[in-house]
Every structure is written in structure tokens, then in C-alpha cells.
């Protein structure tokens, strides 16, 4: 089950990274839960209504290192790395997904800028020293 769920949520996350979905209010509204909250990499907070009214970034982004952790029945944490090919800034991302109204919807999302590159995440044990991410 976890493999199918991983694939499904990764597909939804990848869909959200596509400019054509980010520009389409109906497609975006279908994926974001009504009480969705985002803490952007800028530190600003956004609601679903704000995302739909003001739009979201139209940057070209590529995802890597997608993983999920089941937190509770019908609640999942997704984490991954994003390379922003428009700005050149990379980020670590996390989303909480909840099964609502017979479909998975994003409840929470946060992005944090990082100096890491995708290949740095291939050997996670080397990233952490004494419980902290080592300086690159």
C-alpha cells in the first residue's frame, strides 16, 4: 500500500510543480484542502484563498528524493527536494496530505531554501553529524 500511496502523492506533488496547473485555479483548488496553509521559502504564510486569488510561483521546478511517512490514518507527510530552474535556488519541501472527500488533498506545505544539491541527498547518513546537517 505504501508504494502505491507514495506514487500517487508524488504524482500530485509533481502536478503542483507544473506551471499549467499552478496557473489554473480549478486544478489548484482541487488539490489544495479548504483549510490549506503554506509557509513559503520567503517566510510568508498563504491560505488556499490567497493562492487562488494572487497565484503561485510560475517557476520551472524539478523534484527529487521524494519520500513519505504515514503519520496517522489518512494523514501523510511528504518530503522532497526541489531545484528551481528559474531562480537557481534549491529548497527542501514538506507537505501534509489528508484524505478528504474521497481524495488526497494538501493540507500544509513548507519550503526552505537550501545550499544542498540533489546529489547531496543521495547519501543522507553523510549529511548529518551529531544530529545536525553538516555544513557543505
Q: Which domains does the chain have, with CATH numbers?
A: 2-116 (3.10.450.50)
Q: What are phi and psi of 7, to 5 degrees?
A: -60, -45
Q: Is the pLDDT of residue 101 over 50?
A: yes
Q: Could you tell me how many residues make up the chain?
A: 136
Neighbours of 40 (CB within 10 A): 15
Cα atoms found within 13 Å of the Cα of residue 13, Cβ hemisphere only:
31
pLDDT band at 135 (very low <50, low <70, confident <90, very high): very low
pLDDT band at 136 (very low <50, low <70, confident <90, very high): very low
pLDDT band at 106 (very low <50, low <70, confident <90, very high): very high
Amino acid at each position: 500500500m505504501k508504494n502505491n500511496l507514495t506514487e500517487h502523492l508524488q504524482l500530485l506533488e509533481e502536478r503542483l510543480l507544473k506551471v499549467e496547473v499552478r496557473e489554473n485555479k480549478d486544478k489548484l483548488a482541487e488539490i489544495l484542502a479548504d483549510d490549506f496553509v503554506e509557509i513559503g521559502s520567503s517566510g510568508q504564510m498563504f491560505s488556499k484563498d490567497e493562492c487562488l486569488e494572487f497565484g503561485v510561483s510560475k517557476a520551472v521546478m524539478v523534484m527529487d528524493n521524494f519520500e513519505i511517512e504515514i503519520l496517522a490514518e489518512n494523514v501523510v507527510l511528504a518530503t522532497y527536494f526541489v531545484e528551481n530552474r528559474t531562480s537557481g535556488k534549491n529548497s527542501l519541501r514538506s507537505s501534509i496530505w489528508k484524505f478528504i472527500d474521497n481524495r488526497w488533498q494538501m493540507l500544509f506545505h513548507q519550503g526552505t531554501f537550501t545550499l544542498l544539491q540533489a546529489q547531496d541527498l543521495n547519501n543522507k547518513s553523510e549529511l548529518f553529524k551529531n544530529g545536525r546537517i553538516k555544513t557543505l
